Copies of this chain bind each other. A is one copy, B any other.
Amino acid sequence: MDERNVRILQAVAELGTGSPDEIAEYTDIPKSTVHYRLSKLKEDGVVTNDLLDVDLEQLGLDITVVTEVTAEYDEQYHEEVGEKLADIEGVNQVYFTMGDTDFIVISHLSDRKMVHRLISDYESIDEVVRTSSQFVVETVKNESYPLNDFEFDTLIEAVDDD
């Protein structure tokens, strides 16, 4: 991995496409070089398919943190708190729950320093009362494309044509 590869992957995330042409324009790297780099990333297993899913460990994002956040808020503000959490850099998923905990937040990070930064970012939100059950976890399965055969069968039964 070097900076150029990271910039290519960054362009993918930013543009939402894997087109060598668009990536080339965005990064100012010639498109044949972009193509060469992307092929190599696939060959090395960093990028795992045509949808450009990435292997987090190979990128050094081995730390996944699952945090349960409790917040103090009026009914009408839970959306606002959720968005504040979502805006924290490094946060990938935010779920709102209706149990003891209010939010479950998931982040993929590169090192411990970033974990500390994340925690202090949580604490800087006024409404956040406490962050409990901070799990640093090992990823067993991470299916980015959220649909599987099971769901498809259900969906096919369920769909009313429109």
User: Which residues of A pack against B, CB within 8 Å?
Assistant: 1-3, 5-7, 9-10, 12-19, 48-54, 56, 59-61, 64, 66, 79, 82-83, 85-86, 89-99, 101, 103-104, 108-111, 114, 133, 135-152, 154-156, 158-162
Contacts and interface: CB of A to CB of B under 8 A. Distances in A.
Chain copies in the assembled complex: 2
A77 to B, nearest CB: 13
Given A1-B162, A94-B141, A147-B54, A66 B6 contact: no
16 contacts: A1-B162, A2-B162, A10-B152, A16-B53, A52-B145, A79-B140, A92-B143, A93-B143, A95-B137, A98-B136, A98-B137, A99-B135, A104-B135, A104-B137, A110-B158, A114-B154
